[in-house]
Chains A and B, each alone.
Chain A
Amino acid sequence: MLNDILIKPFADMFGAPDFLLQVLWEGLVSGVLYALIALGFVLIYKSSRIFNFAQGIMVVFAALTLVGLYEKGVPAWMALPLTLGVMYLLAMSIERVVLRPLVNQPDIILFMATIGITLFLIGFGEIIFGGENKVMITEQLGIPTGSWEFEPFGGFLSIEQRDVTAVVGAVVLVAALLLFLNKSKMGRAIRALGDDHQAALSVGISLSTIWVVVWFIAGVIALATGIVWGSRAGVSFALEVIAYKALPVLMLGGLESVLGAIVGGLAIGILEKLFEIYWGQPLLGGNTETWFAFVLALIVLLFRPQGLFGERIIERV
């Protein structure tokens, strides 16, 4: 038993390093996706202290809009900006209808409101686009679909080109986002709002404008995630569950840290794949990916209650 837990998995890893590399790569790619979704959460939480549960359904909604528009005969290069327009409208209506009347309510009320948004969007999306699985328009968007094959250590390693595109795209997106948050006027306003609502309002920062912008950025991130994930697994409402995968990432990295979301995402993506392949499947009957990340994050949180990169929690009485 002890041998199976402590020795055999590592022997397997070094016995077949090409397979280990493949597992690591797969983990890295899903880690990038987790990081992207977590980024959407972090942005909204930083600027408005809202724990946005609707991020997952926004991913589905964005992807469905893109595919739906294409199926209606809109060319792919047009469907992309149109989808962005839809996401902007969504951000605006969420701010106007849901958030504005709920300003200053306790966190849990706003959290419940985002679950309300989730349910609404599920129903709305199913009425408009239908519930069946759709195929993401990967090729039409100019994303390569082939794969590269290597033979390291005399073994075999296959890397899908669309995964490479996803990783590169995510890096560009995150870099652009960090540049926007740190260098632009609007980005500074967002961070100011995150530090102190009242102080930000008193120097003339418009709460409603910032909220629309932040939700729109979250929508853009959702679209990027939707394209990448959709091209791997198809577009359907089942995608919504990936929102749950982003939650342990947030716990691990800290709710307000952009860096935490990225590091946490990558760490969880890789570790859960390793655990599933080398421990979960042989010892526990598989499918451990549903809970491994949560338990890992829980253990980390016991030692650091604010996550790895979160702001230190200071309480005053």
Chain B
Amino acid sequence: MLYRTAGQFKTTYEADHALFPVRQDAILLGVILTLAFVILPLTANEFVFKALLIPVLIYTLAALGLNILTGYAGQLSLGTGAFMGVGAYACYKIITIFPEVNLLVAIALSGFFSAAVGVAFGVPSLRIKGFYLAIATLAAQFFLVWLFEKWAWLYNYSASGAIQVPTIEMFGVVVAGPNAKAITQYYFVLGVVTLVTMLAINITRGRIGRIWKSVRDMDIAAELVGINLMKAKLSAFFVSSYIVGISGALFVFLWRGAAEPNLFDIPLSFRVLFIVIIGGLGSILGNYLGAMLIVALPVVLSYLPGALGIPISSSMVEHLNTMTVGALIIFFLIAEPHGLARFWAVLREKLIIWPFPH
């Protein structure tokens, strides 16, 4: 009823290939954008910004990067956390060497560093496939985290071995550092994420995206129809690591405020991978849904016992949390292996043909 497509005629191929072939999709997106840009900032408090909204957006961005590599180009990577780290450390070095550089520019530049590292570690993908490649990306994971620890130049020889975000102003407003307001940071992150999402949608819809998908579905067949595998795989590594690097810079500069090398260790990689898988491989929307679930779940779980009046210790809550997340991952994989995005696709299809079952 709400999603009825009757009366929306397409008279050209361009209209058929449009971003929103169904008008209601565009309206729905408009509603969501209004919610994100106007209504949420007006209603949310400091805690909601810091614990829910900002991390959801940043994890979405990281997942988007990984999804391009794994979901679109079919190359499984377990080194996402380390590539986020490269972005964060690169941004830190740029900001501390050139303090007058605009933070946006610094973040955009830091993406290129992680992209270069990503391409370097992506070269083996030309020969190695499947789980062998996944383990090979672990080499990047462990080596880079070790490097973050040992290469003192990276953290400016600070005694703690951690990087600390300085106070950064942009156009007279404090955007990063201990004095920044959560709402400014939210708008900053939201802007970047919206922009990158828009780019990602168009890249994956276009020529490069179709090349990636053909490589994912069968790389030998793709090679036979004239696709340059080296270009296709390395460009996927480049774009993916670039986005992951940006998300790493945002992760430290706009959310955590400080970072130690072990923050980028393997649990972070796995968390991003969970988001991608639970959200849906090869889906942009899925990253958002997965990130919401993975970020919100621990927050909700830690409040639930208190709200229900069950007294348990905080360490117990943490253990229960780990256990529940594990169980839920298995549950979602069994319930819908194609991820949450598929839930929405099915629901939308049903809404369009409603009230008829087929």
Contact = CB atoms under 8 A, between A and B. Distances in A.
Interface of A: 51, 97-98, 101-102, 105-109, 111-113, 115-124, 126-127, 131, 244, 247-248, 250-251, 255, 284-285, 287-288, 290-291, 294-295, 297-298, 301-302, 305-307, 313, 315, 317
Contacts of A111: 131, 134
A112 to B, nearest CB: 5
Contact of B327 (A51, A116, A248, A295): A116
A116 B329 contact: yes
Given A244-B266, A291-B146, A301-B136, 18 more contacts: A102-B337, A105-B337, A107-B130, A109-B277, A112-B273, A119-B323, A119-B326, A120-B327, A122-B323, A123-B319, A124-B323, A250-B135, A287-B149, A290-B142, A290-B145, A305-B128, A317-B218, A317-B220
B150 A251 contact: no
Determine chain B's interface SS by DSSP, over half rule. helix
What's the interface size class on B, roughly?
35 or more
Interface of B: 70, 76, 124, 127-132, 134-136, 138-139, 142-143, 145-146, 149-150, 218, 220-221, 224, 266, 270, 273-274, 277, 281, 315-316, 319-330, 333-334, 337
A305 B132 CA distance: 8
A113 B330 contact: yes
A152 to B, nearest CB: 34
B54 to A, nearest CB: 24
Closest 3 CB pairs of A and B: A123-B323, A119-B326, A120-B326
B131 A51 contact: yes
Nearest to B281: A108
Contacts of A294: 135-136, 138-139, 142-143
B136 A251 contact: yes
A159 to B, nearest CB: 30
A245 to B, nearest CB: 10
B326 A302 contact: no
Contact of B333 (A102, A127, A250): A102
B333 A123 contact: no
B330 A116 contact: yes
Contact of B139 (A98, A284, A295, A317): A295
* Residue among A105, A116, A288 facing the most chain B CB atoms (10 A cut-off): A116
